[in-house]
Amino acid sequence: MGFFDRLKEGLSRTRQNLVQKVEELVTGRQHIDEELYEELEEVLISADVGAEMALEMVERLRKKVKEQKISDPSELKNLLQQEIVALLGQEAVPVKIEQKPTVVLVVGVNGVGKTTTIAKLAHRWKSEGRKVLLAAGDTFRAAAIDQLEIWGQRVGVDVIRHQEGSDPGAVAYDAAQAAISRGVDILIVDTAGRLHNKNHLMSELSKVGRVLDRALPGAPHEILLVLDATTGQNAVTQARLFGEAVGVSGLVLTKLDGTAKGGVILAIQGELSVPVKFIGIGEAMDDLRVFEPQQFAKALFGQEETGE
Amino acid sequence: MAMFESLAEKLQSTFKKLRGKGKVSEADVAEAMREVRMALLAADVNLKVVKNFVAKVKERAIGQEVLDSLTPGQQVVKVVHEELVALMGGTSSKINMSQKPPTVIMLVGLQGAGKTTSVSKLALYLRKQGRKPLMAACDVYRPAAVKQLQVLGNQLDIPVFSMGTGVNPVDIARGAMENAIATGRDTLLLDTAGRLHINEELMGELKNIKSTVKPHEILLVVDAMTGQDAVNVAETFHEQLGLDGVILTKLDGDARGGAALSVKAVTGCPIKFVGLGEKAEALEPFHPDRMASRILGMGDVLTLIEKAQASMDTQMARDMEQKLRKAEFNFEDFLVQMQQMKKMGPIDQILGMLPGMGNMKALKDVQVDDKEMKHIEAIILSMTQEERQNPQLIKDSRKRRIARGSGTSVQQVNNLLKTFDQSRKLMKQFSDMRGGGKKGKNKAKGMFKMPFFK
C-alpha cells in the first residue's frame, strides 16, 4: 500500500464522520438554505470541532456563499475543504534538528500515548541515520520506565533511567549530560502523564524544562504536546494550559485511526497558533506521520494525491 | 474566555437572569435553552443527546407547571436538574456479586482510558468491603502492562495472576479463574488490553474471554475527556460484549465530562464508578444526582458529608460543624481540621464539593498539595498557643520567629495568615447562605444547604 493510501485509510473514520456526512447533506439539494447550514453545523459539532468553532466556520461559509454568489449546494464541500486548509496552515512545520544534541520534551495528560509516540519518533529518527537517546522521565506511573525500556530495546536505542519515584528533573539532567558525552543527535525526554489542572504537577514540568536548559542551554528545543484525537473540547484547554506551563512548540495528534474524530484540532488551531507536527494513524511503527496540512486535507476529503 | 467557562458557570449565569424574574416567558426559556445547548455541547455531550435533552426540558419548562409556580426561574433550574439526573440514570448502581464465588469482573476499553489503574483501584475498593480480590494481567500487548499491574498489586498487597506476555489472553483468563478458585479468592478482576472498538480481531478476543470465564460484570472504562465519539465506542462495546456498566476516569481533570451524560442515555449502561485521582483510593461510586448538582454548581454536599463521616469521628465532625457555622474557629481548629482533611482526600476536591464554590473565581485555583500541607502544619506548630487562638497577635517579629521555627519564609507565613482570614470570611458566608432548604436527605448533618434549591 502506498504512503498516501495508508494515510487515506488511517483517516477513513474521520472522513466518514465529516466529509461523507457533508456529501450526504448536499447531494440532492437544490439550494443552500438555513436548514442546510444548521445541519452542516451539526456535522461539524459531531466531529468534535466544537460548538463555537462550528458556528464560526458555518458563518464564514455563509459569507463566502454570499460573496461568490454560490447557489449549488455541492460547492459547499470545496468551500469547507478550503476553510479547513486555511485553519491548518499550508505548509508542514518540521521539527528542527539543528543543534547537537537536539532535546525534545514530550508532554501530555494521562493515557494519550506519549511513550508509544516517543518510540515511534525514535524509530523515525534512527532510521534517518541519527543517533537517538531516550530519557525515562515518567518516574511516577507503575512500570512506565520498563515500558520505555522495552521500546528502547525494540527500536535499538539507549534509555537513561532512574528508579521509580525518583525526581524527573534529575533524570532529565543526567540524560542531557549523557547525550552530550555520547555525542547523540536527538534526546527525547518522556514525562509522566498529568492532568493540566494540577498546578503542582505542571510546575514540576516547568522544572524539568529549566533543568534541561541548565544542563544544555537552549534545551529543550522542541516541546511536543501529545493529544488523543478521541478527546473532545478539553483538548483545547490542555493545549492552552500546557502551553502556559512549558511553552508547547508542536502538537502530536494520536489515535486518529479507527475511532477518532479529531475535529478538535480545528478548534485548537482556531484558538492557538501551535502547529500540528505529527499525527498517529495506526499501531505500526511507521504510522506516526509528519503532518502535512494539504495532504491531510486531501486524504480527508478522499481525493487522489497528485504528483506522487 | 467564554469557551472555557464550565457548564456550571454557564448554566448558573443563564439562570441568574431567569431567577431574577417573576415570570418566565416562552422567549426567556428559548433563550436559556440555547445557552444550555451550547454549554452541553462544549461539555462534549453527544449532539443527539443534547437535542433530546433540550427538547424535553423546554417542553416541561414552558408547560403549565413552571409558568404557574411562584418562582418560575427556580422552577426551570429544577427541571434541568431533574432531567440531568434522569439522563445519567437515576440512582447509582452496584457490582453484581455472584452467589457462587468467584465473581468475575472484566474491564475493557480504548487505549489509555485507564483500565489497569481502574483494575487496581476497584480491587482495593472491593477489599475494603471485605472481598478477597485477585487481579489478572490479560494485557499481553502493551509493553510492561503486566509489570504495571504487578507493581500495583505489590503496592496494595493484592495478588496478581500473570502468565507473561507469550500466552493467549483467553488462556490467561482461564488460568486466573482456576487460580482464584484454588487460592480461595472470591473476586477476580481481569485487566484487558486497550483496543479500538472497530478492531474485529481484538474484539473477538474479548468475546472469547467472555465465553470462557463468563464474567458477571463487564465494565467499560471511559476517559471523561472523550469527545462526541464516546457514545459510538460505548455502543459498539455494548453490542459486541453486553456491558453491565461504565467506569468514568480522570474526572479530577477539568473536563466537563459530557461523556457521562451521553453514555448512559445512548447505551442504557449505568456509570458505576468514577476515577478521581492518581492515588489508589481515588475511586468512588457514581451518584447521578450528585453529579447533576455538581454540574449545576450546587455543590456535592452529600459526598462531602459522607467523606467526613468516613474519616472523622462523629463528635469531631459535630464540633467542626458548630465552629464552621459560627465562623469562630482559630488556628488550633485549623490544625485539627487539616489533619482530619488529610484523611478525606485532596483539598481542591473537597472545596469543589462545597456549594457555590464552582463560581467563586478566587477559589478556582486553590490547590494544596501534600508538601504545602506539611509547610502549613509546620507554620502552625511553630506558633504559640496564644497566637493560634488569636492570630491578630502575629506581627512582624512574631512572623519572623515563626518562619524561622518552621523553616519557612515570612512570605509563606503571611500567605497562610491571609488564606486563613479569607477562609474564615468564606465560612461566614456559608453559614449566612444556609437556611430554608428542606431537600436535605441528611438532616442530622445539615452542614450546608443548597444555595438556591427548594
Rama region for B257: left / alpha / beta (φ>0; ψ in -120 to 50; rest) = left
Angle at B25 between CA B21 and CA B31, to 5 degrees: 90
Round to whole Å and give the CA distance between B122 and B108.
Answer: 14
Please, are residues B41 and A42 in contact by the beta-carbon 8 Å criterion? Answer: no
Cβ within 8 Å, pair B225-A235: yes
Cβ within 8 Å, pair B47-A46: yes
Domain with CATH 3.40.50.300 in chain A: 102-299
Do the annotations mark residue A43 as ligand-binding?
A: no
Best residue in A11, A161, A198 for a mutation probing chain B (most B CBs within 10 Å): A198
ipTM, two decimals = 0.87
A·B CB contacts under 8 A: 152
The model's confidence at residue B59, banded by pLDDT at 50, 70 and 90, is confident
Contacts (Cβ under 8 Å, ≥6 apart) of A12:
none
Do the annotations mark residue A116 as ligand-binding?
A: no
Nearest chain A residue to B226, by CA: A231
Out of B43, B112, B196, closest to residue A112 by CB: B112
The model's confidence at residue A153, banded by pLDDT at 50, 70 and 90, is very high
Out of A164, A240, A259, closest to residue B196 by CB: A259
Beta strand A222-228 pairing with A250-254: parallel
Best residue in B228, B236, B266, B369 for a mutation probing chain A (most A CBs within 10 Å): B228
Higher-pLDDT residue of B42, A223: A223
CATH 1.20.120.140 correct for A3-91: yes
Cβ atoms within 10 Å, residue A59: 12
Which residue shows C-alpha cell 473536563? B255
Residue B200 has phi, psi (to 5 degrees) of -65, -40
Distance from CA of B207 to the nearest CA of A (A): 19
pLDDT computed for residue B132 by the predictor: 96
Q: Is the C-alpha dihedral spanning B428, B434, B440, B446 positive or negative?
A: positive
Tell me the angle at which helices B314-326 and B410-433 cross, rounded to the nearest 10 degrees.
90
Quote the distance between the C-alpha of residue A148 and its chain's center: 20
Best residue in B33, B37, B44 for a mutation probing chain A (most A CBs within 10 Å): B44
pLDDT computed for residue B266 by the predictor: 85
| Grid cell for residue B99 | 452467589
Please, are residues B302 and B274 in contact by the beta-carbon 8 Å criterion? Answer: no
Higher-pLDDT residue of B228, B150: B150
Query: What's this model's pTM, rounded to 2 decimal places?
Result: 0.77
The model's confidence at residue A260, banded by pLDDT at 50, 70 and 90, is low
Query: In percent, how much of chain A has pLDDT > 70?
Result: 96
| Identity of residue B106 | M
**Could you give the C-alpha distances from B234 to A112, A123, B18, B90, B334, in angstroms and in order?**
19, 33, 36, 19, 45
B74-87: pLDDT as tens digits = 666 677 778 888 88
DSSP B187: E
Name beta bridge partners: B104: B188
Neighboring chain B residues of A11 at a CB cutoff of 8 Å:
none
Neighboring chain A residues of B112 at a CB cutoff of 8 Å:
110-113, 228, 255
Distance from CA of B308 to the nearest CA of A (A): 23
Do the annotations mark residue A176 as ligand-binding?
A: no
B176-226: pLDDT as tens digits = 999 999 999 999 999 999 988 888 899 999 999 999 999 999 999 999 899
Contacts (Cβ under 8 Å, ≥6 apart) of B404:
none
Do the annotations mark residue A27 as ligand-binding?
A: no
| Residue A255 in this model has a pLDDT that exceeds 70 | yes
Distance from CA of A112 to the nearest CA of B (A): 6
Round to whole Å and give the CA distance between A12 and B178.
Answer: 42
Q: What is the mean pLDDT of residues A265-282?
A: 88
DSSP A165: T
Out of B41, B147, B253, closest to residue A143 by CB: B147
What's the full length of chain B, in residues? Answer: 454
Cβ within 8 Å, pair A200-B229: no
| Residue A226 in this model has a pLDDT that exceeds 50 | yes
Round to whole Å and give the CA distance between B5 and A151.
Answer: 40
Q: What stretches of B85-176 adopt beta strand conformation (E)?
A: 103-109, 133-138, 160-161
pLDDT computed for residue A5 by the predictor: 80
| Grid cell for residue B50 | 443534547
Higher-pLDDT residue of B6, A234: A234
Which residue shows C-alpha cell 484523611? B343
Cis peptide before A101 (omega within 30 of 0): yes
Round to whole Å and give the CA distance between A45 and A56.
Answer: 11
Do the annotations mark residue A190 as ligand-binding?
A: yes
Cβ within 8 Å, pair A164-B151: yes
Out of A196, A240, A259, closest to residue B110 by CB: A259
| Grid cell for residue B286 | 457514581
pLDDT computed for residue B219 by the predictor: 96
**Which CATH fold would you assign to the domain A102-299?**
Rossmann fold (3.40.50)
b/e map B207-237, b = 16+ CB within 10 Å: eebbeebebbbbbbbbbbbbbbbbbbbbbbb
DSSP sequence for B64-119: HHHHTSS-HHHHHHHHHHHHHHHHHTSS-------SSSPEEEEEEESTTS-HHHHH
Neighboring chain A residues of B37 at a CB cutoff of 8 Å:
51
Q: What is the mean pLDDT of residues B16-25?
A: 63
Quote the distance between the C-alpha of residue B68 and its chain's center: 36
| Identity of residue A48 | D
pLDDT computed for residue A202 by the predictor: 93
Q: Please give the domain boundaries of chain B with CATH numbers for all domains.
A: 2-88 (1.20.120.140), 103-295 (3.40.50.300), 301-434 (1.10.260.30)
pLDDT computed for residue B444 by the predictor: 33
Burial label for A24, CB within 10 Å (0-12, 13-18, 19+), is exposed
What's the full length of chain A, in residues? Answer: 308
Cis peptide before B346 (omega within 30 of 0): no
Round to whole Å and give the CA distance between B451 and A102.
Answer: 55
pLDDT computed for residue B43 by the predictor: 78
**Could you give the C-alpha distances from B454 to B25, B71, B161, B391, B450, in angstroms and in order?**
21, 10, 52, 38, 8
Round to whole Å and give the CA distance between B56 and A211.
Answer: 55
Cβ within 8 Å, pair A151-B143: yes
Report helix, strand or coil for A292. coil
Quote the distance between the C-alpha of residue B192 and its chain's center: 24
pLDDT computed for residue B386 by the predictor: 87
Cβ atoms within 10 Å, residue B309: 14
Round to whole Å and give the CA distance between A230 and A263.
Answer: 9
Round to whole Å and give the CA distance between A63 and A68.
Answer: 9
| Residue A145 in this model has a pLDDT that exceeds 90 | yes
Please, are residues B275 and B282 in contact by the beta-carbon 8 Å criterion? Answer: yes
Q: What is the mean pLDDT of residues A19-46?
A: 85
| Residue B453 in this model has a pLDDT that exceeds 80 | no
A88-97: pLDDT as tens digits = 887 888 888 9
Which residue shows C-alpha cell 502547529? A275
In the sheet that holds B187-192, the strands lie side by side as: B160-161, B133-138, B187-192, B103-109, B217-223, B245-249, B271-275, B283-285
Half-sphere exposure of A16 (CA within 13 A, CB side): 10
Residue B247 has phi, psi (to 5 degrees) of -110, 125
The model's confidence at residue B262, banded by pLDDT at 50, 70 and 90, is confident
Please, are residues A90 and A51 in contact by the beta-carbon 8 Å criterion? Answer: no
Nearest chain B residue to A145, by CA: B144
